[in-house]
Amino acid sequence: MNLILIAVTVIVSIVAFGNRELFDRLKFTPYQIKNQRQSWRFLSYALVHAGWLHLLINMWVLYSFGSIVERTFQLQFGMKGLFYYVLLYVGGILFSTLFDYGKYKNNVYYSAVGASGAVSAVVFASILIFPTGGIMLFPIPFSIPSWLFGILYLVYSAYMARNGKDNVGHSAHFWGAVFGLVFTAIVVPHVIETFIRQLFG
């Protein structure tokens, strides 16, 4: 299922690179959702990306962490685990935009693209499942414990969402991560207990 999500996203993104009309039709624009009832944009924006680097980073991270989460869900729930994995991913797409929808629904110029919110949900699901794992960040030459990366990522995303002036959807990253944690805590039995035991013995 993870590979299917990646394949669909890559295909649509590549097509949209050469088709501006399709790109504009799929991107997240709160103003048009509110005023023209184009509610599909709550989901479709995750299928298009701002460029090759944006697409490659998101899909590489999804490939790296998604297989871990998908496998865990399948071990817990069998084939039903695939359904839960899709819910995690799609829920991350939806939930990560709600804050920005409320903030920008009257701003005709605001738009966003990319699967980063959903990818954050998957990454943080994996952190909750395997907190003692390691995450490599370029150019740091050593891995950071997953639990520590999670804390630093949330703090950084929250700060940048409030104070950042770049063109990155930090609030989508933050709320996608929050959704991944909450969803996994609700769905996977004893995951909080296991998380604590892995960290503290």
SS3 at position 80: helix
Residue 168 has pLDDT above 70, yes or no: yes
What pLDDT, on a 0 to 100 scale, did the predictor assign at position 151?
92
What pLDDT, on a 0 to 100 scale, did the predictor assign at position 58?
96
What pLDDT, on a 0 to 100 scale, did the predictor assign at position 138?
64
Which residue type occupies 75? Answer: L
Say what the pTM is.
0.93
Residue, of 7 and 139, whose pLDDT is higher:
7
8-state DSSP, 157: H
Question: Residue range 119-147: average pLDDT?
Answer: 87
Could you tell me the CA-to-CA distances from 104 to 32, 33, 99, 154 in Å, in that order? Answer: 11, 11, 9, 22
What pLDDT, on a 0 to 100 scale, did the predictor assign at position 122?
97
Q: What is the mean pLDDT of the chain?
A: 93
Q: Is the dihedral of CA 163, 107, 14, 87 positive or negative?
A: positive
Question: Residue range 36-40: average pLDDT?
Answer: 93
Total number of domains in the chain: 1
Q: Which of 165, 166, 183 is nearest to 120 (CA)?
A: 183
Residue-wise pLDDT tens digits, 63-107: 999 999 999 999 999 999 999 999 999 999 999 999 999 999 999
CA 69 from centroid of its chain's CA atoms: 13
Residues 6+ apart with CB under 8 A from 116: 58, 96, 169, 172, 173, 176
CB burial of 139-149 (b: ≥16 within 10 Å; e: otherwise) equals eeeeebebbeb
The residue segments making up the domain with residue 171 are 2-200
For residue 176, what is the domain's CATH number?
1.20.1540.10
What pLDDT, on a 0 to 100 scale, did the predictor assign at position 200?
86
Quote the radius of gyration of the chain (alpha carbons, Å): 17
